[in-house]
Amino acid sequence: MSTLVAIDPLLTGDVTWSVFLVVLIKVVVAFVILLVAVMLYIWAMRKVIADMQNRIGPNRAGPYGVLQTLADGIKLFFKEQSIPDSADRPVFRLAPYLSIMPAFLMFCVVPIGGTVSILGHVTYLQVFDPPIGALFILAMSGLGVYGVMLAGWSSGSKYPLLGSVRASAQLLSYEAAFGLAILGVLVLAGSLSTHEIVAQQHWTNAWSFATHWFWLKSFVAFAIFLIAATAETNHPPFDLVEAEQELVGGFNTEYTGIRFAIFFLAEFMNVITMSAIAVTLFLGGPSGPGLGFLSSTGTVNVWLMPIFWFTIKVLALLFATVWVRASLPRMRYDRLMSLGWKWLIEIAILWVLVTVTLQVASDANWNRPLSAVIAVGAAVIAYGVLFAAMPKAHETIEEIR
């Protein structure tokens, strides 16, 4: 096998039917996990938001309303699907799938557990581990905008069009900050492979969460990543794409039935995937303390504990997402743009430069505190100059007059 897919030990040998079977199992399991996770996430989100607004939330379908999403899905599945006369029919039909495929594919590179053995094959608990994993994430998050954009354009209606124009502008703006935030981690890890990035954040002692995980080493990149990822997934407070008060329903106004459900699914799937990627890049992925009293090669420590830690971290991030969603009002569109272009991108670039400097300093055995001070100082000065050069709100008005 070529080196493009050969990092996973599963694929280094001959491809037999059992290898094929393992890959198939992993694909199916990832698919099911993601679907069930979306179902539970939508329910949990509604419950938590209801809690935060002193309501009860869904409580009719199943215990604590846990089957509410399923009921909604079944309802949408059996509803009539309408296509507007002015719609571009093939594109209109295609758009939901363009929106959901990247969300699935992005999840495939996320390691959700350690290195395990299935059917006698040693393999990683992720669907595939390309050497270009981080670039793959960026590519897929960029592709996701096509679904939204084509959906709005092909609807042949003005509000969806406005929604999709907003979506593409917003995604392009935040894609830059998003990529630069990831770059900060890549410099630290020295690899694009998600498995390698996670392996570098392995758990050695009780302080590993601060010393080995990347969130503290690159806390600025972590903050920018979280903000940019929220914007990428069109989650509040950046949900201008589907601002109901202004755009009816946004890009999906003309969609009904299962096509609408697929957009809905894709949106929340993106949230889960982004949380999983944040965990992978910054929070150590599946790394965490094992159960010391059990064998370190036993099923519990090899299989369950990494998955447990991964799940806990993703759940924590998802809760934070919901908390933000329940607390913050939607941003104004120009504020959104100025946050992206005037703050996040600049800070992300400078942070990458600082990280690179520190990395080179440690590689070349320079005086680390001194180089850190110089790098950070230079970055602050650079941002000060940039900020001074930026037009302020009142200045812009003066110039126009």
Partner 1 sequence: MGRFSGFLVTLRQMGRPRLTTQYPKVKHDKPARVHGRHVLNRYEDGMEKCIGCELCAGVCPARCIYVRGADNPVDDPVSPGERYGFVYEINYLRCIHCDLCVEACPTEAITETKLFEFSFTNRADAIYTKNELVVDDDGRARRMPWELWLGGEDDHTSEWMRATSPSGSRAYENRVNWSGELGFGVRPPEHGQFPAAEGEEK
* Residues at the contact surface with partner 1, assessed by CB under 8 A: 48, 51-56, 59, 323-324, 326-328
CA distance 377 to 315: 37
247: amino acid identity, one letter: L
Distances in whole angstroms, Cα of residue 372 to Cα of each of 211, 344, 359: 17, 21, 10
Minimum CB distance to partner 1, residue 390 (Å): 22
Q: For residues 35-45, b (16+ Cβ closer than 10 Å) or e, as one string?
A: eebbbebbbbb
Q: Which of 279, 303, 275 is nearest to 291 (CA)?
A: 303
Q: Which is nearer to partner 1, 48 or 283 (CB)?
A: 48
Provide, rounded to whole angstroms, the least separation between the CB of residue 325 and partner 1: 10
Q: How far is the CB of 323 from partner 1 (least distance, A)?
A: 7
Query: Given the complex with partner 1, which of 2 and 54 has the nearer CB atom?
Result: 54
What is the Cα–Cα distance from 181 to 109, expressed in whole angstroms?
A: 18
3-state secondary structure of 117: strand
Between 48 and 243, CB nearer to partner 1: 48
Distance in angstroms (rounded) separating the CA atoms of residues 153 and 263:
15
Nearest of 239, 233, 88 to residue 151 by alpha carbon: 88
Q: How far apart are CA 280 and CA 219, in angstroms?
A: 15
CB of 319 to partner 1, least distance (A): 11
CB-wise, 57 or 290, nearer to partner 1? 57
Q: How far is the CB of 303 from partner 1 (least distance, A)?
A: 33
Supply angle C-alpha 388, 390, 396, rounded to 5.
Answer: 120
Residue 57 or 133: which CB sits closer to partner 1? 57
Residue placing its CB nearer to partner 1 in the complex, 327 or 367 = 327
Q: How far is the CB of 395 from partner 1 (least distance, A)?
A: 25
